[in-house]
Amino acid sequence: MSIQTMLMQLLGGFGQTVIIFLLTLVISLPLGMLVYFGRASRLKPVSALVKVYISIMRGTPLMLQLLLWYFGPFYLWGANIGGYKFTAIIIGCSVNYAAYFAEIYRSGIESIPKGQYEAAQLLGYSKAQTFIHIILPQVIKIVMPSVTNEVITLVKDTSLVYSVSYVEMLAVAKQISAAQTTIFPLVAAGVFYYIFNVIVAFLMERIEKRLNYYH
Amino acid sequence: MKKMLVFALTAVMAFSMTACGAKQEAAAPAEEAVASEEEVAEEVEEEVEEVAEEAEEAEEAAELKSAVEDGIFTVGFDAEYPPYGYMDDNGEYTGFDLELAQAVCDLEGWELEKKPINWDAKDAELNAYAIDCIWNGFTMNGREDDYTFSVPYVNNSQVIVVSSESGIKTLADLEGKVVGVQQASAALDVLTDEESDMKELGDSLGEIKQFSDYNTAFTELQAGALDGLAIDIGVAKYQLNSRGEGFEMLEEALNAEEYAVGFRLGDTEMADIINADLAKLMEDGTIMKLAEKYEIADMISLE
């Protein structure tokens, strides 16, 4: 196999990696906010339930969760899971990452001094207005470094989908590696991951700079 | 309170029933368990039946797919298993078994879907109807109770590959050594199964290390982390050919076994179709031509 073909194959797998990454991110970022609201809810049953959810998501390996999401419907209801793999992967990754993001949001929101809420109330802001106009802009700034961390981890965690035999970049690299009996494709895959993460880190830094208001 | 308890019980039972797939049998104990609570027993029964019906419907839907009614024949294979299934120089999945599956599909007018699977998850994939069969240098010996097999088409044996410098020449030399086998592979069964003739050899080894793919295994062998590898002879030849010097295959084989296509237990309908097609393909020379292409002509067991 020529190097060119190999890189083209890896690029194809890389496409899958990026799609899983982007979809998971687009779903889990807002979902994390929702989870946070559940966690902070004054309704005890809701917050208790969300706490259990976060604890399970963080306390078990993502690889196992993916296996359960994919094979679960069959073992529970005998459902035909022929074309369901991609959906299972996106659900599994999103639901897992939402739990982490929720905790990151919580760290940001809880770091805002109580006095700001009181001041806002005094000035006649409603609760929603306080959150959207005063709290959120500060929170986004505070949580950016932690979110960047998590996003970079997500890029690498996409490789876990091999456990349900979904072919993304690492799987392609391993397959080429097996047929050609060389580890070069694995090194090349590593370079792909690295470059992608450098780009992600660069973009996140740009966003952070953009958010550099109030200073 | 009573009602709630019974409801919870029903939910648990319904869950466990669908989970294990034993619908009818489980319905009987369910009735007994609540016999004393006459006023709610009927309710429970109804729900149990409902759940059972739903599960049956789901199963029927799944069975349709297994019979290739949609015209797509989904073959599960390990894409890191040359020469039987792997990625070729153009990035297409190919190999002796996949080309053979293609030939069968051409005969039947099916479309072949090549689905690379994680070898550890092959049973889950098959039983969950995500694939129609496992066709990938799949050893049938010792697995007869777990799958419905086609006729065997390749004579295989498990052999030991060692590094040339190791000085290991016979199976007896392996005593106390570290030997690698692929996870969930036939080689692992040969060395560890109670009924295997090679159980004694397996016990005499220093350690049996399981690995997920042959690339890491051969690198470990080369680097001295493993003393030997138990491996299918066809795969061993491919690896030795492409890796060149430095490895040797022991002359004594661990066993003699056969490859066949594995279907879900009881799926004899599919096995019969494939058997008829394999016979046809043997007769018109297609199989031998493929075997020569992949250099395994001396291993074909069909006549």
pLDDT of A99 higher than 90: yes
Chain A residue at shortest CA distance from B120:
A163
Answer yes or no: do B65 and A80 touch at CB < 8 A: yes
pLDDT of B16 higher than 90: no
- Whether B79 is covered by a domain: the verdict is yes
Answer yes or no: do A75 and B125 touch at CB < 8 A: no
pLDDT of B219 higher than 70: yes
pLDDT value for A215? 60
User: With contact defined as beta carbons under 8 Å apart, do B205 and B177 qualify?
Assistant: yes
ipTM of the complex: 0.73
> Looking at this protein, which amino acid is placed at residue B282?
M
- Whether B64 is covered by a domain: the verdict is no
- Name residue, tokens 């086998």: B181
- Report the 10 Å Cβ neighbour count for B34: 20
Answer yes or no: do A178 and B88 touch at CB < 8 A: no
- Report the 10 Å Cβ neighbour count for A61: 11
CA distance A164 to B118: 7
Confidence of residue B25 (pLDDT cuts 50, 70, 90): very low
pLDDT value for B30? 44
Write the pLDDT tens digit of every residue in B123-132: 989 988 889 9
CA distance B10 to B16: 10
Write the pLDDT tens digit of every residue in B257-297: 999 999 999 999 999 999 999 999 999 999 999 999 998 98
Within 8 A of B215 by CB-CB distance, chain A residues are 174, 177-178, 181, 183
Within 8 A of A89 by CB-CB distance, chain B residues are none
Contacts 24+ apart (CB under 8 A), B284-289: B286/B103, B287/B100, B287/B103, B287/B153
Over residues A15-38, mean pLDDT: 96
The CATH number of the domain holding residue B171 is 3.40.190.10
pLDDT value for B54? 54
Answer yes or no: do A178 and B219 touch at CB < 8 A: no
Confidence of residue A206 (pLDDT cuts 50, 70, 90): very high
- Whether B127 is covered by a domain: the verdict is yes
Confidence of residue B231 (pLDDT cuts 50, 70, 90): very high
Segments forming the whole domain that contains residue B208: 158-255
User: Mean pLDDT of all residues in chain B?
Assistant: 81
| SS3 of residue B130 by DSSP | coil
Write the pLDDT tens digit of every residue in B105-124: 999 999 999 999 988 889 98
CA distance B105 to B182: 30
User: With contact defined as beta carbons under 8 Å apart, do B107 and B281 qualify?
Assistant: yes
Confidence of residue A21 (pLDDT cuts 50, 70, 90): very high
User: Mean pLDDT of all residues in chain A?
Assistant: 92
pLDDT value for B50? 55
Over residues B94-99, mean pLDDT: 95
Picking from B53, B87, B118 by the largest number of A CB atoms within 10 A of its own CB, the best residue to mutate is B87
pLDDT of B92 higher than 50: yes
> Looking at this protein, which amino acid is placed at residue B80?
E
CA distance B131 to A81: 10
Over residues A14-39, mean pLDDT: 96
- Weakest-pLDDT range from A5-9, B34-38, B263-267: B34-38
- Whether B162 is covered by a domain: the verdict is yes
pLDDT value for B6? 47
CA distance B5 to B17: 18
pLDDT value for B17? 41
pLDDT value for A24? 97
Over residues B81-90, mean pLDDT: 90
pLDDT value for A212? 78
- Report the 10 Å Cβ neighbour count for B89: 14
Write the pLDDT tens digit of every residue in A130-185: 999 999 999 999 999 999 999 999 999 999 998 888 999 999 998 888 888 888 99
Number of structural domains in chain B = 3
Answer yes or no: do B80 and A174 touch at CB < 8 A: yes
Answer yes or no: do A9 and B87 touch at CB < 8 A: yes
Over residues A27-53, mean pLDDT: 96
Report the residue from A71, A79, A178 with minimal CB separation from B213: A178
pTM tops 0.90:
no
Chain B residue at shortest CA distance from A6:
B91
User: With contact defined as beta carbons under 8 Å apart, do B102 and B111 qualify?
Assistant: no
Same domain, B247 and B272: no
The length of chain B is: 303
Within 8 A of B82 by CB-CB distance, chain A residues are 178-179
Map out the domains of chain A as residue ranges: 16-162
- Weakest-pLDDT range from B35-39, B154-158, B166-170, B200-204: B35-39
CA distance A53 to A55: 5
User: With contact defined as beta carbons under 8 Å apart, do B99 and A20 qualify?
Assistant: no
Write the pLDDT tens digit of every residue in B53-77: 555 555 544 444 445 768 899 999 9
pLDDT value for A195? 96
Same domain, B251 and B262: no
**CATH topology classification for A16-162:** MetI-like fold (1.10.3720)
Return the beta strands (E) in chain B as ranges.
72-77, 80-81, 85-87, 93-94, 111-116, 133-134, 147-149, 154-156, 158-163, 178-182, 207-211, 228-232, 247-249, 257-259, 262-264
Picking from B78, B89, B214 by the largest number of A CB atoms within 10 A of its own CB, the best residue to mutate is B89
- Report the 10 Å Cβ neighbour count for B295: 14
pLDDT value for A68? 93
- Whether B103 is covered by a domain: the verdict is yes
Query: pLDDT: is A31 or A77 the higher one?
Result: A31
CA distance B121 to B126: 9
**Closest by alpha carbon to B139, among B287, B24, B259, B232?**
B259
pLDDT of A125 higher than 90: yes
Write the pLDDT tens digit of every residue in B243-256: 888 899 999 999 99
- Name residue, tokens 């076994």: B257
> A132-149: buried (b, 16+ CB within 10 Å) or exposed (e) per residue?
eebbbebbebbbbebbbe
Same domain, B110 and B168: no
- Whether B67 is covered by a domain: the verdict is no
- The whole-angstrom distance between A90's CA and the closest CA on chain B is 18
DSSP symbol at B292: H
> A171-196: buried (b, 16+ CB within 10 Å) or exposed (e) per residue?
bbbbbbbbbbbbeebbebbeebbeeb
| SS3 of residue A192 by DSSP | helix
